[in-house]
Amino acid sequence: MRLVIAEARLVPELAAVCYRSTVKRGRRFLAAELNRLGAAFGRPADDAGQLADILFGAAVAGPLIRALVGDGATRTPEDTVRRTRRVVAALARPPPG
């Protein structure tokens, strides 16, 4: 990912493919999860797209920044899915009281 970001201006086609396969795909996944959870709680997710953008940032910001600065940790796609599901579940809980 660091290389794609660094070379995005020189190889915009690669950046576009990376964006579609990561950001757009992740956002679609989150929107689908929000719609599923909304249906389960009887609340439609009218703003699922906007919430998906917010959740995507919450789910990937930390790992992405660590990857960009090279913390050396190896993470799998499954790690990202687990983190994303935790973020969605935490934010989809009904408010207390």
Question: 8-55, pLDDT tens digit by residue?
Answer: 899 999 889 988 888 888 888 888 888 887 777 777 667 778 888 888
Check the CA dihedral 25-29-35-36 and report its sign: positive
Name the strand (E) or helix (H) holding 53: helix 48-69
- Over residues 3-7, mean pLDDT: 81
Q: Using CA atoms, how far apart are residues 48 and 69, in angstroms rounded to an integer? A: 31
Structure tokens at 23: 């950001």
